[in-house]
Structure formats: structure tokens, C-alpha cells
A = this chain, B = another copy of it.
């Protein structure tokens, strides 16, 4: 997704007023994070970037491709780091049973690092990502599934070793639940207000949030496999 544009020959790129393409990417990231994909117009975007309207079409083709480029720039390094951390955990285990907590943390930490790094988009980027997860647009879903395929595959194998009581199928569902709680949590800083009474004292603190999320997810992952002993019944109340 990088570019099909031919590389600059020997021209040095001015750092202060960068490459047109980079200027578009930066402005797009900021505006998409703030207003979402649909609510961000190319006209306001190009104005903010100080480039011509048609420049987006020239460099990226469509607004959708631009959106993917914005995501890729942050997402690809994050998932690569997740893979690297996982390999570290596996190496450290030296063949012994993998720790479920450690595998999960390897998955969460790169997200936390991004949340703290304003230069890589910070919390707002994660919110943008969380929203993208639930987006109905086919182009977003296909794009994300491609971006995540490798990482998810590796983590699934690791969790299978860490949680031997789960079948492959069951684990697939649980990872789905984990990603749901994670992306929703990251995306929903505002939605928290749904549950009112969120004390003003407790400001949004990423580290604290993940420290709360992690025990919840670990307990869920470790829960015994599907017990059909306790069946859901469609009782009508009263």
C-alpha cells in the first residue's frame, strides 16, 4: 500500500514543509481522527494540508485509499512489534508452557505505546482504529483483515499453547471477544459516558485502563470451555 509513485531522484526533502504526499497524510490523520472518515471532506483536508484538491486524487487515487494509507503507516509497525514481542515471550519460555498473561501483554503493550506517543497519533489514532473495526464499509474490512492476518495467526498458535483446554474453534471466538473488548475500549473513550457516574477524578489514563482490561481478559480467556450444562433459556420475564 506504500506507493506506486516513482522515487525521488536525488532531491532532498524539506523537513519543515514536507513532501506533498506526507503533508496530505499528516492532515488526513489528524482530521480523520477528529471527525471520522465520512465526516472529513477532501476540500477541508486539502486546505488544511495547504495543497490543491486534486492532489489527493493524484497521489492516492481515492479518499478510501488515502484512509488506508493513513492506517497502514501506524498499524503495520504496531503489528510488527507485537510479533517481535511474542517471539521474545516464546524464546523466554524455552519450550515450557507459555504464560497466557505474557502472551496477552505482548499484544497489548504495543497498543499502549502508541497511545502514549503523540508523534504516532496517540490515543486518537487508537480510537480511529477502534472505529474502523466496526465499520461496515467493505473496503475497510478487507483492508484490516489483510493487515491483521499474520499477527492474529501467530498469536492464535501461541494462545493455543498457553490455553490447552481450549479447542481451536473456541479460541477463535475468545480472541474475537478479546479484540472486541479491546477495540471498543480504545474507540470508546467518549462512549464511557454511557455508563455515567464516571467520576471526573478518574481521568483517561491508558496504563490504568489496560491494567483494568488485562485481568478481565485473562480471566475470560482462562474460563473453562463451553459448558452446555448451563443452557441459555428463553424464559420470558415474570
Contact = CB atoms under 8 A, between A and B. Distances in A.
A184 B225 CA distance: 21
Name the residue in A85, A131, A181, A238 with the highest tally of chain B Cβ atoms < 10 Å from its Cβ: A181
Name the residue in A152, A183, A220, A231 with the highest tally of chain B Cβ atoms < 10 Å from its Cβ: A220
A134 B237 CA distance: 30
Kindly list the 4 A-B residue pairs having the minimum CB-CB distance in the complex, ordered from nearest: A180-B184, A219-B223, A85-B237, A134-B134
B231 A39 contact: no
Interface stretch (A11-19, A52-60, A65-73, A136-144): A136-144
B197 A168 contact: yes
A183 B184 CA distance: 8
A182 B196 CA distance: 19
Contact of A228 (B113, B180, B211, B234): B211
Interface stretch (A1-9, A22-30, A43-51, A187-195): A187-195
A208 to B, nearest CB: 8
Contact of A87 (B144, B153, B210, B237): B237
A141 B190 contact: yes
How many monomers of this protein are in the complex? Answer: 2
B195 A214 contact: no
A163 B167 CA distance: 29
A109 to B, nearest CB: 6
A88 B188 CA distance: 31
B144 A194 contact: yes
A175 B195 contact: yes
Interface in A174-233: 174-185, 187-188, 190-199, 202, 207, 209-228, 230-232
A141 to B, nearest CB: 6
Contacts of A81: 237
Nearest to A171: B195
A80 to B, nearest CB: 10
Nearest to A223: B219
Interface string A128-159: 00110111110001001100110011001000
B191 A238 contact: no
B227 A215 contact: yes
A131 B137 contact: no
